[in-house]
Structure formats: C-alpha cells, structure tokens
Chain A
Amino acid sequence: TQLLEQSPQFLSIQEGENLTVYCNSSSVFSSLQWYRQEPGEGPVLLVTVVTGGEVKKLKRLTFQFGDARKDSSLHITAAQPGDTGLYLCAGGVGGSQGNLIFGKGTKLSVKP
C-alpha cells in the first residue's frame, strides 16, 4: 500500500513568518501535486511537479520534488492570513488519473 505522510499535521504561525511543510513516502511517484483547501470548499490545485529535483515557484510558495521522487516540500515565505488552509499533497501512480494517492494534509493557520 502506497502512503503519503504529511508533516506537521497542524501549524499555527504569525503573519510574516516562513514555514515548510513536508510530504514523504517510501514509494516512488510519477508526479506530485499540491492542493490547498479552504473551509467549506474543495481542494484547488496549486502545482504539479514531475521531474526528480524539480523546483517550482508560485509567488511566495516554493515547491520541490525530491530527487528520488519519493518526497516533496512546500515552503512559504512571509506567510499571510490568506495562506490559511489545508495543504494536501497527492502522488500520481503511473499514467492513470484514478491512481492519485492523497496525504491527510497540513492544516495551516496564519494569524495577523
């Protein structure tokens, strides 16, 4: 069974701080996606990484896929209250769209 472990489960920080959340597995994934979910809404895709070692930036968010394609990290610089939400990573297995394994998420709270 392929599992994605996300850490930390909960994170509460002040506006302006930096943070990193992690997504780890013992399995290799063909792709890794990060979603953000706000209360009462569905997850929304932030980024997809497909190449080992790949780094992508989305404004203040930096995503990295591990060299072995087993892990990923999301770094947020100068967090803002609008970054509050549940961050989910999802690993793709092969080419099938149905084989997308989700982690349980990191719940981030950014206080003003």
Chain B
Amino acid sequence: DAGVIQSPRHEVTEMGQEVTLRCKPISGHNSLFWYRQTMMRGLELLIYFNNNVPIDDSGMPEDRFSAKMPNASFSTLKIQPSEPRDSAVYFCASSPTGVSTGELFFGEGSRLTVL
C-alpha cells in the first residue's frame, strides 16, 4: 500500500521566491497534518484538516504561509515570500478518522533550503 507521498523531496530556493509543497495522504484517511521540523524547535504542528476542512491553523507562523486541501487526496503548503528562517523539513501526515489515539502516518518530508 502506498504511504503518504510528498513532493518535492528537496527544494533549494532564493529568499523572496514562492515555494509550494505537495502531499497525497493515504487513501481513506480523513485527517491531514502539516508539520515543520528543525533542530532548534523539533516537530511543530502547522495546520491540520479533517474531511478537507482546516480545523486548527494556529501553528502557521504568519501570513506568508497558507495551506489548502481541495479534495481528499491532495494538499498544498505554500510559502510566499520565502525567507531563510523558513529552512526546515516539512512533513505531511495523515490519520484515519476514528482513531482515538491519533496515530499519524508521516511522509518522507520535503527539505526546504532558502538562501
């Protein structure tokens, strides 16, 4: 079975450029999460969706970040304009509805470097 699929795996861009990260959750999973991981701050939740609806975006750093989930099989995280401090590994994770203990299935991550 296919797991969570993220693209691109690596992205190097210059400050000020727009970055779009993509995620395909596991089929049948109704919850989708975007996390950011850095050495300093660890794994931080940015936003999560349930049935394609954003439930909590309080972790989104600022207006430069936006996320969408137009359908159950696709989500994007966009950074515009990007800044060097956005450099991190961005993970997408999905979870099946009804799992009370909230098991998360992570993708392999998108490593973003902003120069």
Q: Are B42 and A103 in contact (CB under 8 A)?
A: yes
Give the residue name and chain of the A residue nearest to B9 (CB).
A40
How many residues on A have C-beta within 8 angstroms of the other chain's C-beta atoms? 21
Check A97–B48 contact: CB distance below 8 A: yes
Cα–Cα distance between A95 and B97 once the two chains are bound (Å):
12
Q: Which A residues lie within 8 Å of B101 (CB)?
A: 31, 33, 48, 50, 92
Name, among B4, B44, B103, the residue most crowded by chain A CB atoms within 10 Å (CB to CB): B103
Smallest CB-CB separation from B109: which chain A residue? A42
**A52 to chain B: which residues have CB within 8 Å?**
none
Given contacts A33-B101, A42-B4, contact A98 B33 (CB under 8 A): yes
Closest to B30 in A: A97
Asked whether B56 lies within 8 Å of A98 as measured between CB atoms, the reply is yes
Given A50-B101, A97-B31, A98-B56, also A44-B45 (CB < 8 A): no
Q: Are A43 and B102 in contact (CB under 8 A)?
A: no
A102 and B100 form a contact (CB under 8 A): no
CB of A69, distance to nearest CB on chain B (Å): 13
Confirm or deny: A88 has a beta carbon within 8 angstroms of a beta carbon on chain B: yes
Q: Is B108 an interface residue (CB 8 A)?
A: yes
When chains A and B are docked, how far (Å) is the Cα of A47 from the Cα of B30? Answer: 21
Q: Which residues does chain A contribute within 8 Å of B99, judged by CB atoms?
A: 97
Q: With A42-B4, A42-B93, A44-B106 as given contacts, are A102 and B48 in contact (CB-CB < 8 Å)? A: no
**Residues 1-46 (chain A) with a chain B CB within 8 angstroms:** 31, 33, 40-45
Shortest distance between the CB of A92 and any CB in chain B (Å): 6
Question: A40 CA to B10 CA in the complex, in Å?
Answer: 11
8 Å CB contact of B48 from A98, A103, A104: A98
A100 at the binding interface (Cβ < 8 Å): yes
- A residues contacting B by CB (< 8 A) are 31, 33, 40-45, 48, 50, 88, 92, 95-98, 100, 102-105
